[in-house]
Amino acid sequence: MSLPKVVHLTDVGPRDGLQNEKQPVPAAVKIELVHRLQDAGLKEIEATSFVSPKWVPQMADNAEVMAGIQRRPGVRYSVLTPNMKGYEAAALTRPDEIVVFGAASEAFSQKNINCSMAESIARFEPVVRAALDAGLGVRGAISVAVGCPYAGEVPAANVEAMSRMMKDIGVPLVVVCDTIGVGTPNKTQAAMEAALKHYDIDHVAGHFHDTYGLALANTLASLEMGVYQYDAAVGGLGGCPYAKGATGNVATEDVVFMMQGMGIETGIDLDKLVDAAQFISDALGRPLASRVGRAILNKRAA
């Protein structure tokens, strides 16, 4: 099949990218990062999460971050909401979209959100209804869709089951997530196929961590199936506190470079995106991790 001509990228850097940072990151830095991402042309930004501050202290400033963002028309700001308590707090901050997040393994569901897969669906159901009634967008993330740090290999049947349950409670779009970056192109395609049993191509997205360096290969494998919506994190930041050892998301700038080279439109200014990546790396006191980011910085310095 022919490849998509346009891809929609959601930068999850401010949320997935920073949730795992040990050092406190000031809200002002998170807000500045969001501003830089929207300046670079990102139209979807996952800004923060409304989870327990005891579980994820780094996201405790969620309301402050949301209040500090100077919103740009045409940009959608999403937040994670695992339950009604999170949704109610999030709703006060006027997100455009909320994300419920379940898992394709029982073990990960317990570790990450302290309940079984079926219980998570029961928690999400009123959240999804309330969000849709309020006119918000809703996404349903399915973590550990190809491999789990606790259960090992995850059968595609689990992804299919979770997709069906998400569909049953009215989640309009699912995100197939390789939380620990163990996916290979064939396994990623199998997980995507499982989600596509219940959702059409316009309602399935990919979210690939790059632990083993295959996130771009998995993006390409999904692109070949027609999937055109992806999460990525500026600077390749990221990781889930309940997936030890897993590294960052695929870097947004790596994805943009690949798409541009393939003639696929992203609407993103790569130079400004690299500036944003450098900004957050400097703020964290680390060298920029992404390959494309480093290459462009080296070229500028030459």
List residues with catalytic annotation: 240
What is the total count of residues that contact ligand HMG (CB under 6 A)? 26
Helix (H, G, I), strand (E, B) or coil at 87: helix
The answer to the question of residue 177 lying near ligand HMG (CB under 6 A) is: yes
From the list 33-41, 49-57, 251-259, 264-272, the region that binds ligand HMG by CB under 6 A is 49-57
| C-alpha closest to that of 143 among 167, 110, 184 | 110
The one of ligand HMG, Mg ion, none whose footprint includes residue 55, by CB under 5 to 8 A per kind, is: ligand HMG
DSSP state of 4: P
Beta-bridge partner residues of 209: 249
The answer to the question of residue 254 lying near Mg ion (CB under 5 A) is: no
Helix (H, G, I), strand (E, B) or coil at 160: helix
Please classify residue 215 by burial: count the beta carbons closer than 10 Å to its beta carbon, then call 0-12 exposed, 13-18 middle and 19+ buried.
Answer: buried
Residues of this chain, 10-49, that bind Mg ion according to CB under 5 A: 16
Supply the DSSP string of 27-47, one letter for each residue: HHHHHHHHHHHHHTT-SEEEE
The answer to the question of residue 55 lying near ligand HMG (CB under 6 A) is: yes
| C-alpha closest to that of 180 among 115, 117, 105, 230 | 105
Choosing from 7, 11, 16, 268, the residue that interacts with ligand HMG (CB under 6 A) is: 16
The answer to the question of residue 85 lying near ligand HMG (CB under 6 A) is: yes
**What count of residues does the chain have?**
302
From the list 68-76, 79-87, 255-263, 286-294, the region that binds ligand HMG by CB under 6 A is 79-87
Q: Tokens in use for 93?
A: 């901050």
Interface positions with ligand HMG (CB under 6 A): 16, 19, 49-52, 55-56, 80, 82-83, 85-86, 101, 112-114, 141, 143, 177, 179, 207, 209, 240-242
Kindly list the residues in this chain that would bind Mg ion in the complex (CB under 5 A): 16
